[in-house]
Amino acid sequence: MLVRPEALGPLLRVRGLVRQFGGVKALAGVDLYLNIDEVLGLIGPNGSGKTTLVNCVCGAMPSTSGQITLEGQDITNWTRVRRARAGLGRTFQNLQLFPELTVAENIAVGMNAARRRWQNQHDVVQGLIGKLGLESEARVAVSQLPNGHQRRVEIGRALAGKPKVLLLDEPAAGLNDAETAELRVFLREVRAEFACSILVIDHDMSLVLNVADRVQVLDEGRVIFMGKPDQAFRQRNVVEAYLGTT
């Protein structure tokens, strides 16, 4: 009997995740789940633990305790490389592209890093560049591109690894209003065309609230809200987390 993917539960699940730095708990027992074909927005004030959570999920940082599963398989103790090959792709708050390489070369790096086998690498890279809307800049060094296009290249590099889950850490950082508006449209296209679920962190609420199916709010390493985007800032504890109590 063929088991449908939905029957296996969430694509990605985090249970009771703790990350401790000395006596400080950056994450204090966080639960999170991401369904197939879903966009989850992870928001919260500075220092709430958002990037720490993504770092633990992708394997860049070990968790102190808790469990992380991908497609029902426990990946808590897997290496970062093994997680990438299993289907976790990510971008970074501070761009981590190879500035001296071209757009095409940066995307090819993502393909090779995840060790994905493509029948024709050149055609696949060119196809991704087309979907990124960067055809005219394929041979341009990424250091010569505006911030918005560099963000697209970084997402494209992650997509070259055929991720099941795409973790985006502050993709709108450094973008102006017009570039952020373009990014909103682009992320909707990514979801539709690449069949990957997305977890996105960003301080730009216009981005998160317009692309996410659900949002999860962290404050001081704890989950204080999980639900529909339009409900988040109707919660007193969420408003207080951002603005403080009066």
pLDDT tens per residue across span 26-64: 999 999 999 999 999 999 999 999 999 999 999 999 999
User: H/E element holding 230?
Assistant: helix 229-232
pTM of the model: 0.88
* Predicted confidence (pLDDT) at residue 194 exceeds the cutoff of 70: yes
pLDDT number for residue 103: 94
Quickly state the pLDDT bin for 115 (edges 50, 70, 90). low
Query: What is the pLDDT, as a whole number, of residue 7?
Result: 53
Report d(CA 178, CA 68) in Å as an integer: 36
* Residues 6 or more apart whose Cβ sits within 8 Å of residue 195: 37
Report the pLDDT value the prediction gives residue 245, as an integer from 0 to 100: 59
| Token representation of residue 192 | 């539709």
Contact 143, 95 (CB under 8 A): no
Closest CA to 7 of 31, 40, 38, 35: 35
Report whether pLDDT(4) > 60.
Answer: no
CA terminus-to-terminus distance, the chain: 58
Residue 9's pLDDT is 80
The pLDDT value given to residue 203:
87
Which residues, in sequence order, are CB contacts of 14 under 8 Å at separation 6+? Answer: 30, 31, 32, 33, 53, 57, 66, 67, 68
Q: In angstroms, what CA-CA distances link 15 with 74, 81, 82?
A: 11, 22, 20
d(CA 48, CA 242): 10
* pLDDT, mean of residues 175-202: 90
Domains and CATH numbers, the chain: 1-87+208-246 (3.40.50.300)
